[in-house]
Amino acid sequence: MVKFKRILLKLSGESLMGKQNYGIDAERLSDYARQIKEVHDMGVQIGIVIGGGNIFRGLSGSQKGFDRVKGDQMGMCATVINSLALSSALGAIGVKTKVMTAIRMEPIGEFYNKWKAIEAMENGTICIFSCGTGSPYFTTDTGSSLRGIEIEADVMLKGTRVDGVYTADPEKDPTAQKFDEITFDEIYHRHLKVMDLTATTMCRENHLPIYVFNMDVYGNLKKVISGESIGTLVHD
């Protein structure tokens, strides 16, 4: 039994680094690919957005003197690199994928189109949406909200390195308590950082629930799809 029929999975670029300080860790990449295959084999339709923070972030670039828009474009290119890596890792274990780009760059990827994406997912192909929203000053969290809403996903699964939403940062505050579920209103009220505000607001206004969980523990994605309560559900 699967809890969600169609998902938008958001993976951060940073977690692709694994134990490295930069770039793509082959072991982490293959772990992710195998976890994704497990839920694909259960018949779940999958769209994926992957960040680029393991390679370049526009905001940090602009702090070092890069033009912000060019820096963001570099960041969007980084998401394409990660998307191609994930597509390749999934292909290596027999899973069909389609990399779509929010900015035209054929033949690297197909220009994003909602209906083509849905058709592909319905036919068992995983769609990897790269370049975030395609515009500067946004993040891949916003890209995930946007694509999740557009493809009519049942949920956005935000795979992170913590196992849910806490009252405070659990890596800094040992007294922090985890929520099993929380409303969008409470997220604002308590100033919790689940995603950036633009992304959170888009999900709230379009009623797309977010499930935050630790994707770095092998098997967790399957647990979430099977309905095990291992993370935090953010809902209306």
Q: Which residues are annotated as a binding site for ATP?
A: 10-13, 53, 57, 160, 166, 169
Q: For residues 168 and 176, is the Cβ–Cβ distance under 8 A?
A: yes
For position 200 contacting ligand UDP by CB under 6 A, the verdict is no
CB of 158 to ligand UDP, least distance (A): 10
Neighbours of 76 (CB within 10 A): 25
CB of 63 to ligand UDP, least distance (A): 12
Please select the residue that binds ligand UDP; options are 109, 132, 148, 159, rule is CB under 6 A: 132
CB of 226 to ligand UDP, least distance (A): 26
Q: For residues 194 and 210, is the Cβ–Cβ distance under 8 A?
A: yes
For position 51 contacting ligand UDP by CB under 6 A, the verdict is yes
Residue facing ligand UDP at closest CB distance: 51
For 110, the 3-state DSSP assignment is strand
**Pairing verdict, β 126-130 and 155-160:** unpaired
How much is the CA Rg of the chain, to the nearest whole Å?
Answer: 17
Please select the residue that binds ligand UDP; options are 138, 179, 184, 213, rule is CB under 6 A: 138
Closer residue to ligand UDP, CB minimum distance, 124 or 151 = 151
Please select the residue that binds ligand UDP; options are 9, 29, 78, 199, rule is CB under 6 A: 78
Part in contact with ligand UDP (CB under 6 A); list of ranges 36-44, 57-65, 115-123, 220-228: 57-65
The H-or-E segment that residue 148 falls in is: helix 140-150
For position 31 contacting ligand UDP by CB under 6 A, the verdict is no
The H-or-E segment that residue 234 falls in is: strand 232-235
Alpha-carbon distance of 126 to 40, in angstroms, equals 8
Please select the residue that binds ligand UDP; options are 47, 58, 159, 231, rule is CB under 6 A: 58
The H-or-E segment that residue 48 falls in is: strand 45-50
Please select the residue that binds ligand UDP; options are 29, 39, 76, 157, rule is CB under 6 A: 76
Instruction: Classify residue 231 by burial, with Cβ atoms within 10 Å: 0-12, 13-18, 19+.
Output: buried
CB of 144 to ligand UDP, least distance (A): 9
Using alpha carbons, select from 203, 39, 200 the residue that is nearest to residue 121: 39
Q: Which residues bind ligand UDP (CB under 6 A)?
A: 12-14, 51-53, 57-59, 71-72, 75-76, 78-79, 132-133, 135-136, 138-143
